[in-house]
Each structure stands twice: as C-alpha cells, then as structure tokens.
Structure 1
Amino acid sequence: MADTGEAAACDLVTVPAREGLEAVDLLRLRHGVGPVLHDREGGTLGFLVPPGTAARWNLPGSACTRTRGTDPAGARPPVTGSGWLVPPEGAVARATEPERLRAAIYEAVNMLAVVDRCR
C-alpha cells in the first residue's frame, strides 16, 4: 500500500488478508475495530492505528508504517490502491487500539495454524 503524500494522520498496520480478516472478526466481537483498508488485489489488510505506533510496533508477519494520508475520519482512504473494508463511518473508533490489534492478530495466526493442521 503506497503513500498518497498528504498530511500525517495515522499509522498503518499491514497484515496478510487471511489473518487480517480473522483479526477484524475478533475485534468486532470483543472490542470494536477502527477503520480497515484492503488493497485492490486483496493480499493485505491495513488497520489504522494511532500516530506513533510504528515506532514501537514489532510483530512478525506484520508491518507498521507511518502514513501521510487523510484524517481517518475522512472519506478517502489514506493510501493509494486501497479501499475501505471497514469505513470510518462504520468503525467504532477513529483508530484500532494497538495492543488489542496485536492480541487479535496473534490469536488469528494461532487459530488459522490449528485449522491448517486439521486439513
């Protein structure tokens, strides 16, 4: 997901779509989720998180980058080549809380590993 070059408003945690979709479901059921992007090819999901998260994010299989995009409450996605999976107006928060996101991703990865072993 590439940067649009606009003013900084959020950081973006990017994960593979399979894990990301499970994490979205877990967050929706438990805590709520902020805006979530999907890339046009469907390979990744991007969770908007508060600014400054990128400086301390360290979770294998994911990446967190600073974006220079529109305000998460805006209608346009903050990165080019993406669309909203969870639009700002459908989110319960302006951004997903990083520690809750980390826990949901971790749980999703573990759950999917169990499913894969059962095949």
Structure 2
Amino acid sequence: MTGTGVKAAVEWLVSVAPDPGACRWTWERDPRGVALLPAGRRWDVLILPGELGYPTLDVLTRLIDRPGPVLGGFGDRRMGFFVPPGTVARWVGTGVRGAGRGTWIVVPHPGRPARGGVRWLVPPDGSGTLTDAALLELAMHEAAAGQAGRDSR
C-alpha cells in the first residue's frame, strides 16, 4: 500500500476512536504498534477459527477482487473479517464469534509490519470497503464443504 493509501486507511480506522489524535500517537510511539478501537460504529468483526478462516479467505478472493479488511492473529488461530455494523447482532453461527457495538478490538497500524500478535492479512484501503456478510457466509459454507471433503478421504 502506498503512502496515500496508508494515510487514508489510518484516517478511516481512527475515525471511530474516542480520541483520534491519541490513537495516531499510540500507533506512532507504541513499540507494539497497536491500538484499541471500538467495533460497531463503522464495522463489526466476525472472528473465525483459523482452520475455517484461511480457506474462507481463499474462497472470497476468488469471488471478489478485494474483500474488506481481515485481521489475523494469535498464532493464526483466529481471523477477523470486517463486516457492516450490526452484523454481529444478527449473526447466528456455530464457532463464529463477533465484535460489535460495545466491544473493542486490537488493531495494528495498517502501514507497518506487525510486531505483536495481530497483523493485517487484508489491510484497509481507506475507502470503507467491508466484506458483505451474506457473501462471507457463502464463502464459509464453501470452505467448510471443501474441508469436510478433504477430511473424509
């Protein structure tokens, strides 16, 4: 991502922070390069186990040019897909957790290499693009079906 893209991504992310300046300051000076941001304002985050998340991301990238932002973390055991706000309140699915209104997420700086346990697999581009929840669900089904087919062999 270029300097302009990174700046747009930073501005998009910090727009939800209670104090955008403090968020920018944290990203600039904290050696871990992460900030806490509230979910549920511009996005919710659906958190999938890595064994489902990675195949789901593969399916998504075959279906669309660019999904919304995706976080990977905790030794690749979990992935967070940024979806429209309100999705978590309506989501019904086994094994999928959500971060929506009233929750906070750890977010790394979009233009720097990860130094902690969370990194961008698909960084935000600053345009506000999110993954459509229905498309994500279809991709999850296809990924799970593919995994079940491999497991039955």
| TM tier, smaller | 0.7 to 0.9
State the match for 1:4 in structure 2.
36
Q: Which of 24, 35, 39 does residue 69 from structure 2 map onto?
A: 35
Residues in 1 aligned to 2:63 and 2:79: alpha-carbon distance in whole angstroms: 19
* Identity over aligned pairs, percent: 32
Please identify which structure carries the higher helix content.
2
Unpaired segments ≥5 residues, structure 1: none
Is 1:52 the counterpart of 2:91? The answer is no
Between Structure 1 and Structure 2, whose CA radius of gyration is higher? 2
TM-score, length basis structure 2: 0.61
Question: Aligned Cα RMSD in Å?
Answer: 2.9
Unpaired segments ≥5 residues, structure 2: 1-34
Residues in 1 aligned to 2:120 and 2:148: alpha-carbon distance in whole angstroms: 27
- Amino acid across the alignment from 1:104: A
Q: 1:75 Cα deviation (Å)?
A: 2.6
How many residues are aligned here?
A: 110
- Asked whether the equivalents of residues 12 and 64 of structure 1 are also in contact (C-alpha less than 8 Å), the reply is yes
TM-score, length basis structure 1: 0.77
Residues in 2 aligned to 1:6 and 1:100: alpha-carbon distance in whole angstroms: 24
1:1-119 paired onto structure 2 within 5 Å: 4-6=36-38, 8-31=41-64, 32-66=66-100, 67-68=103-104, 75=110, 81-89=117-125, 94-118=129-153
Q: Which has the higher contact order (CA 8 A, sep 6+)?
A: 1
